[in-house]
Each structure stands twice: as C-alpha cells, then as structure tokens.
Structure 1
Amino acid sequence: MAFLTIFLCLVFGTIGSCEVTKTNQWPNRSVIVQLFEWKWLDIAEECERFLGPKGYGGVQTSPASENLIIHLNDGQRPWYERYQVISYKLKTRSGDANDFLNMTTRCNRVGVRIYVDVVFNHMTGDHEANAGTAGSTANFSTFSYPAVPYKKKHFHHPVCDINNYDNATEVRDCQLVGLKDLNQTMPLVRQKIVEYLNKLINLGVAGFRVDAAKHMWPEDLKPIYDSLNNLNIQHGFDQNARPYIYQEVAHGGAVKPSDYKDIGDVTEFFVVSEMFNVFNGHKPLKNLKSWGSPSLGMLPSENALVFVDNHDTQRNTGGLNYKTARNYKVATAFLLAHSYGQPRIMSSYHFDRNDQGPPNDRNEDIQPPLINEDGSCEGGWVCEHRWPSIYKMVNFRNAVRDTKVENWWDNGNNQIAFSRGIKGFIVFNTEGKKLDRIFQTGLPSGKYCDIISGQRQGQICSGTTINVSNTGLASIKLSGIGDELHLAIHIGEEVGQMSRTVGLAQMVCERSRYSDLGRAKGLKRSQDFTEVLGGFESVFPIPN
C-alpha cells in the first residue's frame, strides 16, 4: 500500500499533499471554518452532512471552558460571556464533555479537524452575578476561583488596566478591559492551563486558537506549548503529531505579531483591513500583486493565519462581513485563491447589536441552524460556509494546494487574474465594466467548468465553460456587473472527460495513513472509508 501511495502521489503531482501538515488536516484539505457559538452536537452533524463532503479541513469552536453566566439589561446573554472563564470544566452553552467527545469523534471520522478557541490570559471581570455554566462560583474581590483553584497570588499585581499600548509590560501584565489577568510565570497557573489543554487533546482536538496571546509573554507561552501532549492517535492523528497553535495578536503598539511567530502561527489582522480597503473600492485590486510581501509588513506565509473577518472584527467598523455580502464573497474568494497563509472563514449568526448572543430559546439554550432544501440556513444563522461561492472556493483551494501564484495580470486598476501553478486560474473584475481578453491560464488543455457561475454535473457544466488550448490560453469574459465579479476554474472540474485523479490520490494517501496507524478509533470497517472517501473500495480495498 505504501508503494501505491507514493506512486500515485508522484503520478498525480500530489506528493506534497500526502505529507502530514502542521495543521494535522487530511491530505488536500486546507481551510478552517469558525462555527461561532455552535453547539458541539450541531457541529458534529454539520461535519457529517456538509463540511466533510465539501472538503473543509477543520472547525474552530467557541471556548469549551466553563464561563460566567452574564445577563444584559434585556435579560439576554452576550456572546462575550464565553471569554470570561470561571473554571476549566468542560461545560458551556455548547455542551458538556460527552458532547465534545461526540463532536471530535464524528468530525475526525469524516476528515474535519477540531481547533478550540482557548482562553487563559485571564479569568472573569467583576459582575453582580456569580454562577458559571457548570455551577462554579468565584469571589471576584479576592481573586478567588476555587474550582481551578486560583487565588490572588496567581494573578498580576498590583492591579492595573491597559491604557498605553506602546508599553509592552503594561499590555502583558495589566488587565484587558477589566478581566483579571493571570500570571503565567506561576507554576500552578502553567500546570492548570496545561492540564486543561491536554484534556482537550485527549478528547481528540487538532489544535488551539490562543485568545489574547498578545497580552501574554512569548517566553511564558512557550513552556506551556512545549508541555502539551502529542495528539491522540485514537482519533486518526499521526504518531508524535503536535497540536497546531495559532495565536491572536493584532498589529499596533509595542507588541508585534512577529514576536510570536517562532512559537506558533499568528493571526494576521492586516488581511482584515486590507481586504476591506481593496474590495470596498478604497484601493485598486492591482495592489494585490504584492500580497503577502514582507514589504507590506505582513507575517511570512508559513506563520500567518488569514481571514476576512472574525467574531470581533465583524462587530467593529473597518472590516467586511456577511452584511456586505457582495464584496465579502469576492474578498473571501481572493483569500482562498491566493497562496498566502492558512485560511479561516467565518460562519455567523444574524445580529443587530454588537453584544447580541446566538439564537436561543426561552430556556437560554442555543438553537440549532435550520437547513433549507437549497442548503442555506435559517433560524437566525447566516452560515457563510454554506454559501456556494465560498464552499466552491474551498474546493479550489484544495485543488491548487502547494502551488505558487503565477501568470499574474492586471489592467492597472480593478481587473486582475492569476494562476495557481498548472492547477487553477481565477479572474476578478470589480471595475464595473466588461472584461474580455485572452489569458494565459497555465492549465492543461481541456474544457473547464467555472465553479462560480455553475457546477459540473457529470460531464456537463451548468455555468460558463472555459476552453483552454494546448498552450494554456483561454478567452474569458466577465461583466463586472451585479454578482458577476469573479470566475474560477481548476483541475478536477473538467467537462467532457473523467477528472477523478486528485480525489483518487487523496483517497489512497489517507487510506495508507490510517492503515499505518493501525486505524483510528471507530474506523474499523472498509465501508466507513467508502462513505467518507467516495467509493473506490472495489479498486483499492483497505488492508485489514
């Protein structure tokens, strides 16, 4: 089987995607989706019915640790209560430890990894209410959190608030918006954080998003990261696989994102502001030719977690979000089409107020998304990850993985195009007038289905078909009006010929990997792999 794996990877040019990546994702998967405020069991179901089949690589969950229950003046609970920790017990509005294990098991089975948003820079602020989602209490005035247990000595003193972001010590040792700031130099604090993260690793997670990493010292974070266990092989991870860590560090002030890149990946917030500037028309698309360049002050691609928006930025001015859907879709397409960084997309719920929590019932239980026949969501959920223009670009990203941006073209303004090696080609037109020209696509000759205007159904394309010549040339028209702002073609979406090679290579890579591991927990039968990987069982049976 190992020989067959190497042979197919070489033949199909996918040897890079047969290697284990630091994100611990399945071969030929590369995109994380933030399912903000979803319940664990709803995530499990979404992995099976949509995320796995559509090629998503992972889910970022909301925090799993017990939080303080906060009520607003109208009686509703805000989203930010999830970031006010009262203990490291695994019980929140999203579910308990059993629900969490159910989620990781089911998602890992279909190739969707789980990354948890973890909060250990701080505990709670001061509140009149004093009850956590698992029943724990605290004494705010004495800095006492007995369910951990933390006492006053485990926090930074004297107490101060962050007012000057040009003072690195103040940023890291003072309270962020009144939240009680833990001292990560203390042995017990490190011990409890490591115990919490290792508990999640044992339950099958692939990594962590570290909230408020900017407010902790890198030299305090590194020993915590180094003390973590390897990932749990019972959930299909390779022997000695390490958790993927990406850290929330915004630009501005004395603390720089680059201060953290040697201990883990870092969220690149420059992407948020620049996507807004370019796709809202404040800057021309041609500026994106240097995207990812150090000259822009951006992190190296291998250290950057990139995104158009997250739960914070979509509630502040200066960024795109689902409410500006037309521009948001095109910006997300560029993010996924370009080779820069590890992409994460946002999946939201509708909100009118910045503090508004997720859809819930009279018992304050989070309500599940309602899925329509066309695949869209109702029940107060947006589900951007289900928008066709986004999940199709996830497929594009997977298809062109490990290739470079080549064949760049622009008209000096708001029409651009580029290829991803010999695997994909994309065109953008936000100029408001028709684009009609012959492009060098870099692709092999054939007829390709534009995944934005339609989809391939068997050997027929329901949208625009692009003919690529033997020299890689193609005539492409794009109106730039309405929603017709981009066009994308890639290998695997040819019409008039079979195009299963990429999926076949991916299937063989993954089957070999699970066989070498002695199989992941719960994947014991050939039919499990058939369901997940697409039905090549009769050709390539899984070794028993």
Structure 2
Amino acid sequence: MQRARVPRRLSLLAAGALVLGGPASAALLPGDAGATPSSAASLNTGDVTANLWEWNWPSVAEACTGHLGPAGYAAVQVAPPAESVSLASTGDGAHPWWEVYQPVSYGLTSRLGTRAEFSAMVAACHDAGVRVYVDAVINHMAGHNNTVNTTYGGSAFDPAGFSYPAVPYGHGDFHHANDGYCHDDDAGIDDWNDKSEVQNCELVSLSDLKTQSGHVRGKIAGYLNDLIGLGVDGFRIDAAKHIDQDDFAAVKGALNTTTAEGRPPYIAQEIFPGASNPDLKAAAFTRNGDVLGFAYAMGLKTQFQDGTLANLSGIPSWSLDADGSQTYAMITNHDTERDGSTLSYKNGSDYTLANYFLLAYPYGKPAIFDGFAWSSRGQSPPADSRGFVTGTDCSSGWQCITQSIGIKGMVGWRNATASATTVSDFTATASGVIGFRRGSRGWIGLNDSSGPSTASYPTGLADGVYCDVITGGAGPGGCAGTAVTVSGGTATVTIPARGAVAVHADAMSGATPTASSGANRGSTTGTSFRTGNDTWS
C-alpha cells in the first residue's frame, strides 16, 4: 500500500489534538465592502507565474508594482485567502504555515490581510499587468479533531460537530464513515489507490466536503465567484486529487468569467503522483484544467543534483505528468521543498540554475516559487504574536528569487522567445554544461560544474553584440552586464562556474529593451543586494 505524501496534513497528526477557534463573522458576498474590481486596460502576455506563497496582501501588491509587472510576469499566485483557524499552540509551534489550509468560512479576513487589502492587492497587480491566481481550498474544512475553535476572522465553528455556521455547513455536508460514500470504518484514507476512498474519505481528519451535494457545490462556487468578482483570474485547486472529477466539473461550470479579460478562470490542479490507479493519475484530471508538474520538478532535481544536464536534451518519461500544454510547471512548492522531493532554496546554485532552465525550456507554464526561510517543516512564516503575517523583507526571513536580476531577465527571455516553440542545437560540451537556442529568438548556456567553461555555440541570432540577461541585460548605454558577440550565427561564450549566460533578440548592446523583453510596464525599482546565490534588485 502506497501512502500519499501530505506534509501539511501530516502535521495535524504530529500535533495531536489541535486548537482552532473563536468568535463569529457573517459570510461576505460579492458587493460587500472592498468588492469593486479594477479591470486593467491590458495584462502582460506570456505564461510565467510568480508563486508568492504566504506573502501578505500589501507585500504582494508591492511586488506586482515594483518587480513582477515591469519584468513581464503574466500572473502571481497567492496563498489561500479564506478565514482559517488560528493555532497558538501545536506540535509544529505557534501558528504553523498550514493554518491557511484549514478554512472555517469563506470570508476573506485571514492571517494574510483583510478583504479590503485583498481587493486592493488584486487591483494593484492588474494595474501592473499581472493576473492573480488564488490557492483555493475547497476539498475540506478545518479538521474535526481540533479541540479549540479560535479563528482569524472571529467566526465560530464546532469542529467535533462538523458545524461551520459562517458558510453555513453542517454535519450532513461532509463525508463520514460508512455513509454510502466513504466505505471505511474510521473515515480515513487507508488505500491510496482506491478512488472512492481517496475522494470520499478524510485526509488526516480534515472535514471532507460532500461535493456530490448541490448545496456544497453551490457554496464552493459562490466562494470562487466572490473572488472572481474581486478580480481574481484563476485558481490553484488544493487537494484536487481528492475531489471527484465530475463534482469539480459541476463547480467549474458554475463559475463566472473573469472581470479583467472576460474569460473562464485559469485552473491548475494539485494531483500528487504515486498512485498506480490510472483514475488517480494526473492525466485523468486534465479535462478540468491544467495539473501541477510534480514529476517534472522531481526529474529536474535529479539532473541538477547529479550534474547531468546533458540528459535534458528532450522531455524524458519522468517529466510527463501531462502534456506540456496542460502542465503548471515548477521547480518546487511549499510541500515538496519541505519533504525534499524537489530542489529548494537550500540547494543554492542548483536551485537557481534549475529555475533558469524551467524558464528557458518550452515545457509547461512555469511558476517560480518564493516562500520564506525555514528550519522546521511546520514553522510559521514571519508573523506577529497573533499569527498575522508581517511584511516581506527580502533581506531577512523571506525568499525573493522572483525579484533577482537573473530570474527577471529570464522571464523577459521567455517572453521574447515565445514564438519559437522548439529547442534547436542542444549542445553538451560536458555532462554538466549545455547550451541551446529557441529558433532565431534566443540562446542560453548553463554550467553546473565547479569551473568556468568556454566554448563556441550556434545561437541562431543575427550578427551583433547581445546583452546577457542573467547579469543585467541591455541598459541605456549598452550592456548592463556581460556582452556576447555573435558572428556568423556563432558565439564563443565563457559560462561561469555554477552559472548561466542567456541572450535574446530584443536585448542588444545600445538597444532599449522592448515589451517582449519584459520591460513593458515601467522601470524596476528598489535597491540591490545579494542573498544566497543571486542578486536582488
């Protein structure tokens, strides 16, 4: 029997009987205070998302305005915004990060900010050209094994009685042991290859919503439509593997179009791999939207840690969660960086180089992850004594690779090469040193070895002097970083140890960066400083 890897939920078991709690708040509906969306005149093209996990709403807004919009990011993903439990004492310490995955209502007062702050954040991101995707927890509510009921918004709930009156949900809105849906004596998932059990029983005592119910589906759709009314453009569906595909299709069918673009919201579903049952594999869920690229991330970890970048010349079988057109690709996320199944910021240059590759290779829709520094798996993000998350400080406690010069340069590189959908002239000068081009639009070289590497590469670019976007790209007077000369379509390039060089057709010496290079919405602001293996600006 293969067990699923669910660290945020397993934290519940480690904590024993948890505390939740508190006062009550009325459900907020579209049209309430702060619900007026701001539709941007235009949003950035491209497909790159910045996943700013557990950043508070003012910090996300600031990032959109100062960095993400100007760099050409298409979207920002934010953590669950619904009111959740507030846990002053657990086995993972006070206010662990997984609080936000235990909702008690669909109100928008949370440890990340108020409804008004959320609405202002969406408006600011849209004004910067950046869409907003929300991590939506709709499979379950807060665990019924909680022994207290404190919350961030003041809503009362009775965990043992399966009562969440602010929604409202009651006992009959949840799956229970041997209720005709969950055929298990303790209501928990024991067989991770049994579709019925995985989708109708409880994930480590989290109160599992009966999504077969029209009432439940209506409440879920109402919550998501409230967010759409505030301007949200898409959703990352948490624990989507645990929701029947037909049930979620019904919810999805009840969703409104987005306010900024008038299209169906983007959907990316969390389907962790490991099941042998084809009905529980990622490909079985693509009819409802994209799926997260877990297998791709795990495969890239192997190649970068082993220094075998030469193996990346194609998309081998390890990467195929689904077709690239339906994969929300990543190097890591909040779960996998903690269980070690993928790379994380703790892996230094391997992590940085893998993110460059993610942006360069034409597979999936890439999401670049920024969370916070951690030393224990369940610890809280930087927060005050009440658990409310404090502002992001890229020099202390937070990870900000999305704001680094190299990553922002590679977002522009990806946007500039979007029309060239295939890789050409993949060249491995050593096991850990590679270069390839995207048509006549751009070339990148990566060096995962301990010394610099000099070699000649076919670039596909017209002759001229190009500006390396990893070290700064094109500036007003020429190259802000390394200059690369192309002659006869070929460039002789020295790629630094544990580093990369990337050039594209829209970043030439003496040229002003164009919209396709990512500098289409103002200039990047802020001071420069160094953290870890990259420079932030």
* TM-score category of the 2 structures, normalised to the smaller one: 0.7 to 0.9
For the pair 1:167 / 2:194, whether they are aligned, the reply is: yes
Matches within 5 A, 1:207-246: 207-232=234-259, 237-239=260-262, 241-246=263-268
Q: Which residue of 1 aligns with 2:298?
A: 273
Deviation per CA, 1:89-113, whole angstroms, max 9, x where unpaired?
Answer: 1110111211111111111011011
**Residue aligning to 1:432:** 450
Shift of 1:46: 1.8
Tell me, which stretches of 5 or more residues in structure 2 are unaligned? 1-40, 178-185, 525-537
Match of 1:149 among 147, 168, 189: 168
Q: 1:107 aligns with which of 115, 122, 125?
A: 125
Structure 1's 25 and 83: CA in aligned 2 closer, same or farther, altered over 3 A? farther
Give the Cα–Cα distance (whole angstroms) in 1 for the partners of residues 125 and 308 of structure 2.
Answer: 40
Contact (CA 8 Å) 1:25, 1:112: kept in 2 or not? no
Structure 1 residue 399 displacement after superposition: 1.4
Matched, 1:474 2:499: no
- Per the alignment, residue 505 of structure 2 pairs with 491
Farther off after superposition, 425-434 or 435-444: 425-434
Match of 1:324 in 2: 347
Q: Deviations over 1:290-316 (max 9, x none)?
A: 22x568534101100010111111111
TM-score normalized by the length of structure 1:
0.82
Decide which of 120, 123, 139 is 2:158's aligned counterpart. 139
Please report how far the alpha carbon of residue 532 of structure 1 lies from its aligned counterpart in structure 2 after TM superposition. Answer: 8.7
Matched, 1:456 2:474: yes
Letter in 1 for 2:167: V
1:429 maps to amino acid? N
Spell out the pairing of 1:273-422 with structure 2 (5 A cutoff). 273-281=298-306, 284-291=308-315, 296-370=319-393, 377-403=394-420, 404-411=422-429, 413-422=431-440
Secondary structure at 2:62 match in 1: helix
Shift of 1:491: 1.8
Distance 1:144 1:501, change over 3 A: closer
Task: In structure 1, give the amino acid aligned to 2:310.
Answer: K
Aligned to 1:40: 57
The CA deviation string for residues 152-190 of structure 1, in whole angstroms up to 9 with x for no partner, is 211112252112212121111111121111111101000
> Cα distance, 1:77 vs. partner?
0.4
CA shift for structure 1 position 351: 1.2
Q: 1:408-430: per-residue Cα shift (whole Å, max 9, x none)?
A: 12246222111112111001122
Q: Is the 8 A contact 2:283 2:321 kept in 1?
A: no
Residue 250 of structure 1 corresponds to: 272
**Structure 1 residues 121 and 243, CA, compared in 2 at 3 Å: closer, same or farther?**
same
Cα distance in structure 1, aligned partners of 2:171 and 2:193: 27
- What is the distance in 2 between the residues matched to 1:296 and 1:100? 35
Asked if 2 retains the 8 angstrom alpha-carbon contact of 1:110 and 1:532, the reply is: no
Identity %: 35
Per-residue Cα deviation, 1:392-449 (whole angstroms, up to 9, x for no partner):
2112112111322222122462221111121110011224354332211111221011
How far residue 477 of structure 1 moved from its aligned partner, in angstroms, is: 2.1
Aligned-pair CA distance for 1:128: 1.6
CA distance in 2, matches of 1:103, 1:160: 39
Write the deviation string for residues 447-488 of structure 1: whole angstroms up to 9, x where unpaired: 01112234322232243211112x411112224x3x4x2211
Aligned residues: 471
Q: Which amino acid aligns with 1:289?
A: S
Residue range with higher mean Cα deviation, 328-337 or 63-72: 63-72
Separation (CA, whole Å) in 2 of partners of 1:383 and 1:323: 13
How far is the alpha carbon of 1:219 from its aligned partner?
1.0
- 1:526 aligned partner: none
Relative to structure 1, the CA distance from residue 202 to residue 412 in structure 2 (aligned partners, 3 Å threshold; closer, same or farther) is same
112, 115, 124: which one aligns with 1:94: 112
Q: 59, 83, 87: which is aligned to 1:70?
A: 87
Contact 2:80 2:135 in 1 (8 A): yes
8 Å CA contact retained: 2:475, 2:512: no
Is 1:123 the equivalent of 2:141? yes
User: Quick one: which amino acid aligns to residue 203 of structure 1?
Assistant: L
1:190-209 equivalent positions in 2, closer than 5 A: 190-209=217-236
Provide, for residues 496-521 of structure 1, a one-character-per-residue CA deviation record: whole Å limited to 9, x for no partner.
445547469x97xxxxxxxxxxxxxx
- The answer to whether the 8 A contact 1:437-1:476 is kept is yes
Q: Which residue of 1 aligns with 2:288?
A: 263
Pair 1:212–1:200, CA change in 2 (3 A): same
| Alignment CA distance shift 1:129-1:249 (3 Å) | same
CA contact (8 A) 1:30 1:57 kept: yes
1:32-63 alpha-carbon deviations (Å, 9 max, x no partner): 11111111122112211222122222111111
**How big is the shift at 1:242?**
1.0
**Letter of the 2:161 counterpart:** T
**Residues 71 and 412, structure 2, Cα contact 8 Å, conserved in 1:** yes
Q: In structure 2, what is the Cα distance between the partners aligned to 1:493 and 1:532?
A: 15
Deviations along 1:269-291, whole A, 9 cap, x unmatched?
Answer: 0122112111111x621211122
Rounded to whole Å, the distance in 1 between the matches of 2:374 and 2:294 is: 22
3-state secondary structure, aligned to 1:345: strand
Paired residue secondary structure (1:180): strand
Distance in 1 between the 2:189 and 2:426 partners?
Answer: 44
- The amino acid of 1:223's aligned partner reads A
CA deviations over 1:346-372 (Å, ceiling 9, x no partner) = 1111111111111112343321123xx
Write the distance in 2 (CA, Å) between the matches of 1:345 and 1:448. 25
Aligned-residue CA RMSD (Å): 2.3
User: What code does the residue aligned with 2:230 have?
Assistant: L
Alpha-carbon shift at residue 216 of structure 1 (Å): 0.8
| Letter of the structure 2 residue corresponding to residue 383 of structure 1 | C
Query: Unaligned regions of 5+ residues in structure 1, if any?
Result: 1-23, 371-376, 508-529, 534-544
Query: Could you say if the C-alpha distance between residues 295 and 140 of structure 1 is closer, same or farther in structure 2, counting changes exceeding 3 Å?
Result: closer
Q: Cα gap change, 1:27/1:98 in structure 2, threshold over 3 Å: closer, same or farther?
A: closer
Distance (Å, rounded) in 1 between the aligned partners of 2:368 and 2:517: 23
